[in-house]
Structure 1
Amino acid sequence: MTTTDDGGADGEPADEQRRHWQDTYTAHPEMYGEEPSAAAVHAAEVFRRRGARDVLELGAGHGRDALHFARRGFTVRATDFSTAGLDRLREAARAQGVADRLTTAVQDVRRPLAAPDASVDAVFAHMLMCMALSTPEIHALVREVHRVLRPGGVLVYTVRHTGDAHYGTGIAHGDDIHEHGGFAVHFFSRSLVDALTEGWTLDEVHAFEEGELPRRLWRITQTREDGPLG
């Protein structure tokens, strides 16, 4: 198992979130438990059916989903901007005997992804894209995901959407970003989801609920079309 660092410059709202998540992961190392998310369980089946062998996870946190992918036999590159979360993930991977199938890297998704062009079969991101990222940053990230996926590769991501009970409440930061309890969320509209499909085939937009309130999310699956984006 190896670790690399690709941090970003400070000075943006997302930097406050980076510090907040780092402190949260350090104080609450088991905040999400050990079981994989329902989205990751579904994604693993999608990836298996598509013949994927390697998975890049964005926003892996403590790694409950990355570990699930590794246990299912995928080679996994798990990224997050929290070193505390990745430290915990490496410990768990060694304990579960999957360290040989998993690498970690610190990644600020506002910067280019540290992966070569057309180098991975599948990308997974559970509630990463609906963090405190601006709409242009989200578009840039999806272009980067398109770049690193092989033609025919698949992206599965989840986001909280504008039908969520927290949308329009709390501290408003503009651009559909609202903050509650120190956590800022960019709530996705369906028009944003559709705008992110240029150069992709949109396979599914699945509505589901998770956690308290409950949170209302979409699980989006889209496939990279041949050729680079214009």
Structure 2
Amino acid sequence: MNDGDKELAEEQQRHWQDTYTAHPGMYGDEPSTAAVHAAQVFRAGGARDVLELGAGHGRDALYFAREGFTVRATDFSAVGLEQLRKAADAQAADTPAADVQAVEPPAAHAHGVAARVTTTLHDVREPLPLPDASVDAVFAHMLLCMALSSAEVHALVEEIRRVLRPGGTFVYTVRHTGDAHYGAGIAHGDDIYEHGGFAVHFFPRHLVDSLAAGWTLAEVHPFEEGDLPRRLWRVTQTLPR
């Protein structure tokens, strides 16, 4: 990482810390549509545990836990992860057993939501703190399109390949070059533009395809999210067995 990249990374970490502090639970309690899709894909593939990268304050991590998965949630914001832990504790304490049984698969609710979620403070520019072939599935909603260079994104996907078990599935979403904010704001190079304090790496399709080399690329699904709206791809790829 050169000095410019390091400065941008540190600036973005501070910005997210400040944003979560000023706006606790800023994305609400409902899961993203990408997480709902991912849960279906993971369950169909027989996954039991999920690693979420860039979990933030936890709306998707907690959804996966309510759906019966064991979840390892990582983020580089300590503030966001603290909000996640508090929300998990609150759901474990406040959700009546009948309600839990209504939304979770059998035997998934025995110890509550908090017992199925662990958090780790981690910057994805560093190697993932997990052993080889140790998780069934990985999920990342708009994490890969943060202020990460193409080289850093490739390195991260190689780490994801390392920690996934054979046959494991990776579902991620990224804003792409058809987004209205592409080319707007402060240019940092490598299709990274900063708008409103948030730096975004807008993905061209060839980057998605290159990240799927050696995987089975099951889907590149275009969708929209938010008020702008943001234009994204939802990508599903699986490791060979």
TM-score band by shorter chain is over 0.9
Please list the CA deviations of residues 114-154 of structure 1 after superposition, one character each: whole Å capped at 9, or x if unmatched. Answer: 11000000000000000000000000000000000000000
Q: Distance in 2 between matches of 1:206 and 1:100?
A: 33
Corresponding residue number in structure 2 for 1:186: 201
Correspondence for 1:73: 68
Q: In 2, Cα distance between the equivalents of 1:154 and 1:93?
A: 25
Deviations 1:74-111 (A, max 9, x none): 00000000000000100111111111101000010000
4+ residue runs over 4 A deviation: none
For the residue of structure 1 that corresponds to 2:73, the secondary structure is: strand
1:35-81 deviations in whole A, cap 9, x for unaligned? 00000011001001000000000000000000000000000000000
The equivalences for 1:208-219 within 5 A come to: 208-219=223-234
Count matched residues.
Answer: 217
2:221 matched residue in structure 1? 206
Note the C-alpha offset of 1:168.
Answer: 0.9
Preserved CA contact (<8 Å) 2:25 2:83: no
Tell me the equivalent position of 1:135. Answer: 150
Match of 2:36 in 1: 41
Provide the C-alpha distance between the structure 2 equivalents of 1:12 and 1:79, rounded to a whole number of angstroms: 22
CA deviation map 1:167-191 (0-9, x unaligned) = 0111111000001000000000000
Question: Which residue, 26, 30, 36 being the options, matches 2:25?
Answer: 30
Residue 89 of structure 1 corresponds to 84
Q: What's the TM-score, normalizing by structure 1?
A: 0.93
Q: 1:108 and 2:123 equivalent?
A: yes
CA distance in structure 1 between the partners assigned to 2:35 and 2:202 by the alignment? 20
Greater C-alpha Rg: 2
Instruction: From 53, 60, 63, give the equivalent of 2:55.
Output: 60
Gaps of 5+ in 1: 1-9
Looking at secondary structure, tell me which structure has more helix per residue. 2
- Secondary structure of the 1:225 match is coil
Amino acid at match of 2:226: G
Q: 1:203 Cα shift?
A: 0.4
The one-letter code of the counterpart of 1:56 is L
